[in-house]
Amino acid sequence: MTWLTPGLAAVTAAIAIPSLVILYFLKLRRRPIEISSTLLWRKAIEDLQANAPFQKLRKNILLLLQLLILAALLFALAQPQFSDESKVDDRHVILIDRSASMLSEDADGTSRLDAAKEEAIALVDSLSEGSFFSKLADKQPQEAMVITFDSSAEVLSTFTSDKAQLRRVINGIVPSHAGSGLKQAMELAQAHAPIRRMQDTFTNEQGNTETRSVETLRAGIGTVHIFSDGRLPDASEVLAGVEDELVYHDQGDRSRTNIGIVALRAERGYDDPTKLSIFIGLQSTALVERTVDVELRIDENIRIYPVTLQAAGTDLGGESDADAVDPDAPESDPNAPLLPGTGGTQIEFQMPEAALVEIRLIGDAMDDDALSVDNRGWLVVPPARRLSVALVTPGNPFLRQWLSTLRFERFGVYSQEEFETEIKSGEAASFDVVILDRTMPVGDDNLLPPGRYLMLGATPPTGVTQTGEKEGVQFVDWSRRHPATDSLALDTVTIVKSPIVEVDADAGVTVIARTDAGPAIIEQIEPGLRAISVVFDPLQSTWPFDVSFPVFVASAVNDLGNEGVASTLARQLAPGQVLNDRLPPDASEVSVVPPSESGAPTGTSQRVEPAGDGRVIYGPIDRTGIYKVRWDGSATASDFPDGARVARYFAANLLDPSESDITPSSQLSLASDVVRAQGTTRQEVIRRMWPWLVLAALAIVMLEWWVYNRKVHV
């Protein structure tokens, strides 16, 4: 406890207390009067007024009560106050990170998420519920809301003072295998901030003055509590309100280490599709070099490959420096950010058939691993297949010669007139992919027949409208998730002249690459037709002379010819994403089987209804493992038999270096501020005692008045 004005109270006490006591030392000097009887003069003999000094001080309850009143007032004058570990704001937003890294376990076996939930419940218990004297005590009733987040965010409870409800929703938070992001959670919280209302005075048409309530900008949320380990890649994009207070409760032990899979990819060779290459990238937060065994499992076949990982350190120049982050080193900074060590391996072997591949990290190095969700990964490998490809062109020796070097099962070159003859005879349907180079062959119905097309310098007849042309165009953006463009570098390509087009999203058209003139590479999916189109003429650009052009053509042909499974990206998902794929048109009784704890697709089957074009949508998914889509109907080359039904598998892996780097961060660098970890769920605030002392003095005054009146009227 501290005192704001003890000197003033001491001076006042030195004057007031002796003065009060002296009044009780005074005695009554009586005047003799001769009377016949004292019966009627009982009051006259009582000490109602003292007019002589130095009588003996006797026990007097009134003196005691008056001293208590004076003491309470003097203490109030000294303004005592004490520190209370509680929050000053009346509104609290509790943000709890439930992403994959929060599954990391500390030395006692407690996960970071469980620890965060315990701290959040302790915060809820510390909130004031309000009382009759709340305002006098500077302690207002407090409310809280709860939001949980990973790559997305969800409001579990809006603002309430019901502690039982808040505890229930916090205890009900389940972990996710998805990555983490703070931005959406903050936007959700800010959407629940109260709206300011102002009184606006104006003169109406009749000349009378009226007042109306006007809504303005939202006020601050209050105090925002972030329970996380700080593995938030989008933290720098988060802008907090100027009236809000952010409190970061960091979770996790910096001494814990993790080794995880952060990259996983399988590709078949273009020249030899039976040759399968699998690349595995690993990451380690250990301060020493580690060797881990990578187990590759295909059905019952198991292969083990040792991989050595560098030690984690702080040297951004490339060499790790374990001493820089050693807690025992005298010049070390225990909160310094770590640069994880890396390593990997590439495995090549012959495998012509389709398969499910499982990768596990095993060995002594994994005994003290803190996070298990990134220790396993899965791949869905399509079967080796040579495609039948037709090139329809008015003449393009460069493209024709390059395509002829690829090992297609069948490759034909046609003019537009020749291919229209193939369409009429039905032979065109025997090609897996048709490349249309500045041509648009049609059938008897004047429409492009069903099939799979790569269009160069042409666009589908529907869903795209040309509105003009622009010269000197360059690429500005392209999809890193689409199999045809994920490995391209297009920023050096210059387009001499490009059409300006508008696409109709309702017609199933998706833009996968843009230039400063608008859409440049688009994909259209309709019942029976799928096309990837380059809207400009590649010969009117520098693209054919760039290595990215043959890579794009080969990737697009493989993607189209294998129904989207030539690249594992088409069957590889991440938790937090949506499973989205197109099944054969006759697919019925479609269901999705999610993975169990082991990662195998043995969870509870869930029925889904495909769209008119066979597209199914499921998710967002929240666990790693194998998801199985089952249906009755026909199958493609990449599907698997499942009894009397057909199955298609999808692999969901974490593959997130930020989540696998489990070293907790001691601060959050937001767009508006740097928030350092508090290390506690409570904050120190000042509680003033003088209102309570004044209230006590008033109560004693009332008691003194009652005692005095009883004494006088006895």
* Closest CA relative to residue 221, chosen from 116, 95, 74: 95
pLDDT of residue 296: 94
pLDDT of residue 714: 37
State the pLDDT confidence band at 632, using cuts at 50, 70 and 90: very high
State the pLDDT confidence band at 337, using cuts at 50, 70 and 90: low
Tally the residues of the chain.
714
Q: Per residue in 306-332, pLDDT tens?
A: 999 999 986 444 444 444 444 444 444
Which of 561, 590, 612 corresponds to the end of one domain? 561
Write out the H or E segment, with its range, that includes residue 188: helix 183-191
**Same domain, residue pair 393 and 530:** yes
Which of 561, 580, 604 corresponds to the end of one domain? 561
Task: Using the predicted structure, report yes or no on whether residue 212 has a pLDDT greater than 80.
Answer: no
Decide if 531 is inside a domain: yes
Task: Using the predicted structure, report yes or no on whether residue 41 has a pLDDT greater than 80.
Answer: no
Decide if 59 is inside a domain: yes
**Same domain, residue pair 524 and 397:** yes
Which residues make Cβ contacts (< 8 Å) with residue 571, sequence separation at least 6?
A: 380, 382, 565, 638, 649, 650, 651
Q: Per residue in 120-158, pLDDT tens?
A: 999 998 887 665 445 444 556 688 999 999 999 999 999
pLDDT of residue 321: 44
Write out the H or E segment, with its range, that includes residue 167: helix 163-171
**Same domain, residue pair 407 and 550:** yes
Decide if 143 is inside a domain: yes
Decide if 202 is inside a domain: no
* Closest CA relative to residue 361, chosen from 373, 375, 372: 375
Q: 129 or 553, which is more confident? A: 553
Write out the H or E segment, with its range, that includes residue 63: helix 61-78
Instruction: Please identify which residue in the block is written with the tokens 């907090």.
Output: 240
**Same domain, residue pair 435 and 508:** yes
pLDDT of residue 142: 83
Q: Per residue in 440-476, pLDDT tens?
A: 888 766 778 888 899 999 887 778 888 899 999 999 9
User: What is d(CA 499, CA 536) in angstroms, rounded to the nearest whole number?
Assistant: 6
Decide if 150 is inside a domain: yes
**Residue 322, SS3?**
helix
Give this prediction's pTM: 0.65
Please state the domain count of the chain: 5
Q: Which of 221-225, 533-537, 672-676 has the highest mean pLDDT?
A: 533-537
**Same domain, residue pair 269 and 166:** no
**Same domain, residue pair 238 and 110:** yes
Q: Is the peptide bond before 584 cis (omega within 30 degrees of 0)?
A: no
Q: 669 or 317, which is more confident? A: 669
> What average pLDDT does the structure give for the chain?
81
Decide if 414 is inside a domain: yes
**Same domain, residue pair 393 and 540:** yes
State the pLDDT confidence band at 498, using cuts at 50, 70 and 90: very high
Cβ density class 232-271: b for 16+ within 10 Å, e for less: bbbbeebebbeebbbbbbbbbbbebbbbbbbebbbbbebe
CATH (domain of 493): 3.40.50.880
**Same domain, residue pair 581 and 554:** no
Which of 349, 377, 405 corresponds to the end of one domain? 377
Instruction: Please identify which residue in the block is written with the tokens 């000094």.
Output: 53
pLDDT of residue 604: 84
Q: CA angle at residue 547 from 546 to 553, to 5 degrees? A: 105
Assigned token pair, 644: 């009397």
> Rounded to an integer, what is the distance from CA 317 to the centroid of its chain?
30
Q: What's the average model confidence in pLDDT over 640-653?
A: 91
**Same domain, residue pair 157 and 11:** no
**Same domain, residue pair 228 and 335:** no
Q: Which of 383-387, 548-552, 683-687 has the highest mean pLDDT?
A: 548-552
Task: Using the predicted structure, report yes or no on whether residue 7 has a pLDDT greater than 90.
Answer: no
Task: Using the predicted structure, report yes or no on whether residue 5 has a pLDDT greater than 50.
Answer: yes
Q: CA angle at residue 273 from 272 to 278, to 5 degrees? A: 105
Q: Which domain holds residue 359?
A: 259-377
pLDDT of residue 316: 42
HEC assignment per residue over 356-369:
EEEEEEECHHHCCE
- Cβ atoms of 515 and 472 within 8 Å: the answer is no
Decide if 204 is inside a domain: no
CATH (domain of 278): 2.60.40
**Same domain, residue pair 103 and 187:** yes
pLDDT of residue 689: 73
Assigned token pair, 525: 């999916």
Write out the H or E segment, with its range, that includes residue 218: strand 209-218
Strand partners, 2: 81
Q: What's the average model confidence in pLDDT over 271-279?
A: 85
Q: Per residue in 359-368, pLDDT tens?
A: 999 999 999 8
Q: Per residue in 559-608, pLDDT tens?
A: 888 654 444 445 788 999 888 887 887 899 999 999 988 888 887 889 99
Strand partners, 346: 279
Decide if 203 is inside a domain: no
User: What is d(CA 563, CA 565) in angstroms, rounded to the nearest whole number?
Assistant: 6
Task: Using the predicted structure, report yes or no on whether residue 33 has a pLDDT greater than 70.
Answer: no
Strand partners, 147: 95, 155
**Same domain, residue pair 417 and 529:** yes
